[in-house]
Amino acid sequence: EVQLVESGGGLVQPGGSLRLSCAASGFTFSDHYMDWVRQAPGKGLEWVGRTRNKANSYTTEYAASVKGRFTISRDDSKNSLYLQMNSLKTEDTAVYYCARELGDLGRDYWGQGTLVTVSS
């Protein structure tokens, strides 16, 4: 059974940093692109970014709203995906989801999300 479990959320002050993790199981993690998607309280979904697999040089892409502040990485030996968030702003407050990407087949599995609150 495919499972994605996010962790690392919490309360952080504006300007601070936080690192989220996503533990994957039930599939060959190293084969897949992985995405981060967030949802502010009461708002819609926002794509944060993605990392490709080793075959595609682990290249990353980011939404304009987080580019230069957030970094996506992965450790295939640990079946884990990470989101390093720096220079956090109040508008980064959201539930952060990791999702498995199947290219043209879409994002077929999602974690349950972890809440990040940026507030003083």
Partner 1 sequence: SYELTQPPSVSVSPGQTARITCSGDALPEQYAYWYQQKPGQAPVLVIYKDSERPSGIPERFSGSSSGTTVTLTISGVQAEDEADYYCQSADSSGTYVFGTGTKVTVL
Residues near partner 1, by CB under 8 A: 35, 37, 44-47, 50, 61, 63-64, 97, 104-108, 110-113
Nearer to partner 1, 88 or 98 (CB): 98
Burial class (CB in 10 A: 0-12, 13-18, 19+), 71: middle
- Give the residue carrying structure tokens 């952080």: 12
Nearer to partner 1, 56 or 77 (CB): 56
Nearer to partner 1, 1 or 104 (CB): 104
Integer angstrom CA distances of residue 15 from 11, 50, 54: 12, 23, 32
Q: How far is the CB of 109 from partner 1 (least distance, A)?
A: 9
**Residues written for the chain:** 120
Q: How far is the CB of 95 from partner 1 (least distance, A)?
A: 9
